[in-house]
Structure 1
Amino acid sequence: MSTSTEQLSDQLAATTLLRFATAGSVDDGKSTLVGRLLHDSKSVLADQLEAVEHASRSRGQEAPDLALLTDGLRAEREQGITIDVAYRYFATPRRRFILADTPGHVQYTRNMVTGASTAELAVVLVDARNGVVEQTRRHAAVAALLRVPHVVLAVNKMDLVDYQESVFAAIAEEFTTYASELGVPEITAIPISALAGDNVVEPSANMDWYGGPTVLEHLETVPVSHDLTACHARFPVQYVIRPQTAEHPDYRGYAGQIAAGAFRVGEEITVLPSGKKSKIAAIDALGESVDIAWAPQSVTIRLADDIDISRGDLLAPSADAPATSQDVEATVCHVADQPLAVGQRVLLKHTTRTVKAIVKDIPSRLTLDDLSQHPNPGQLVANDIGRVVVRTAEPLALDAYADSRRTGSFLLIDPADGTTLAAGMAGESFATSKAVAAVDEEEGWDF
């Protein structure tokens, strides 16, 4: 390995990683912004740029359409919209990035939920000509619900409003007020023109009234933390290993990825939902025994006692074990075309565990215009955000989503065809009052 290659490897190893997602309404310029970021930060290979230039010429465009760098599906290019979540990986000398370019069309809000679920930052675009619209509010609500710690308001197409400071200020004030009411902890507003490159990578000469960072500068400097070791230690069991070899005739290990926290040899743990206790006898990582392992390592944990443990069980330190319950109260983003109704039978997937469940109540649905609660809607339809009360057939060990995005989230699944119905966050609520009591017991899946 050459010295320059070694220096580059050391530099990349020293940089931090930021996962971020873009969101906004149709034609707000998300894909163009992403393309501009990749192009101006010199993260586009020559053959990629050549392919984009060729595709742009075939569509009668003189300049390369940078949106084509992310709109990879044929249907996306034909319609000029983003449909699927496009992931892109790039790096600058200061930071590495994983970018999720999410769709803007209301029909694909479910994909925005997917893209933002692991993001530390969300870039919400607004067309300077249109201001804050319903889809802007929906994306802000989703970002708040998913506990995305940093939100950037990128007021795009400033060139089409003559770079007027008053237009930017009005939009920034409206969005900041709305997002603050949702509980978004940090909001940064930046006026840009993705098409012209104003304030994306380089400062704009057309907006000398703006003294803040460019988009890339903010992405490079915003503080992020990946320290999961300080969280409640949780280990969802994915697979039970029984090699049955002459060398290890009694080997029994529980394999999986540590969701949060750290585990140590000799530590007393509780197996959930059974509640049985044991001690960690050994931890195997990459074929070697270690004394300690932490998130997000994939390891095999061996216990001092033979306990009936299978996929879906959760190991946690006995001193910090979560409570188990069959009643789940949560806020969900409904992502399926078919409605979610009271009394509906579903499957609930939490970490590696999937159990039968029934929707006992839907106490409220969030109204995005004024953040009020529509009581007892009876059902949730595509893109609705609402409170649900779910009763599961078996106890689950859920943390509050505010404490852990990994062990506080779950999916509701249609048992008939496996369709994902809703993404849920345990304990999260925009409501000012608690959810009402569950409805009467149902026949059939009556837990």
Structure 2
Amino acid sequence: MLTPKRLNTSAENFEAELKQLLDWQSVSDEGVVNTVKEILNAVRTQGDVALLNYTQKFDGLQAQTASELKVSSERMQQALDRLDSKQREALEKAAARVRSYHEHQKQDSWQYEEADGTILGQQVTALDKVGLYVPGGKAAYPSSVLMNAIPAKVAGVENIVMVVPAPKGDLNDMVLAAAMIAGVDQVFTIGGAQAVAALTYGTETVPRVDKIVGPGNIYVATAKSLVFGTVGIDMIAGPSEILVICDGKTNPDWIAMDLFSQAEHDEQAQSILLCPDADFIDSVQASMDKLLAEMPRAEIIKTSINERAALIQVQDLEDAIQVANMIAPEHLELSVDDPQTWAKKVRHAGAIFMGRYTAEALGDYCAGPNHVLPTSQTARFSSPLGVYDFQKRSSLIMCSDEGAHVLGQTASVLAHGEGLTAHARSAEYRIKS
């Protein structure tokens, strides 16, 4: 029997209990950090030699030269050709929807001219090279390939370098097929902190990139945090989360399975239900107990639900929205009447799934919006991965003689106020006598 935490917002100690429930600390201890630092330094200084050594040590891939770590375009095409028709069709449909959605995000350069002829604006350009980390081994995530690579391509990134570990040479065909469909340019069978190092510093074989995106284990996450500043990164993601607000009118089996959909990710994943109806909460609990036996990943779900889940009774839906904004979840389901009206009250959420028929799982694979979302309450200040993450902006300033005359006087006063004489003189030279 499952034993998720039962809370009530009317309880005097509710906020303290909620804070304790939400608390999650990375398991990146000093030992992990020191190991990752050693790997980063070795790859930075020794290049392909260190990369080969770590790949042989951690992945059991007995490549003799670094060139063997590169996956040929022929191998990628073979993977695509080997897929059964349903898998290929699903990948292509998902890719088309993801591409269509992200095309709406693309930003163009802009400028305007003031009355005196001064031109101001912004020039938007794509990053040159992006590194995409894809987990390998027991798990395979072709959906992550689509979600990370397609926005980069829409943004105009010319070179996407994908890294994926291949333990003992085992490479997943759907991952390679997704890379082909998404337009990934190069693929290397490397993983872990050594892959992050190779993308950051470059080796004789692996090109240096400008930004690294994609999920990974604690060694990968730690490596990304340590190289940030030398390269850009997308985010440091915590465990997966789902928060469901339900008015008690949805099939409780649906809600139970929605909660399971995140719990099955790993033992640290968090699933929370907010509902004003105590009887419905009991029904969801009963559904969870009933459905658990059907789940292949039942043990993972059980640990996640018992250690990090909560069924919370709220006073009403207004109260539920207030709690949701405190939690700032990665995924928020509004399983209520008139969900679009309630969605306008949500201030902090990675993605909002509106209505009883909109399962969070649809967003993971094929709805179109990105499934790379802020976790661990970072939705308070972060956004989903998007085209904008692969574009950068340069300010445009072009003064006319009249504009330089007017602005120079203002700049001169401010520069002298800061004690920066050369700044002031530089502006004053353009002021008409």
Q: TM-score, normalised by structure 1?
A: 0.24
Higher helix proportion (structure 1 or 2): 2
Structure whose residues are more often strand by fraction: 1
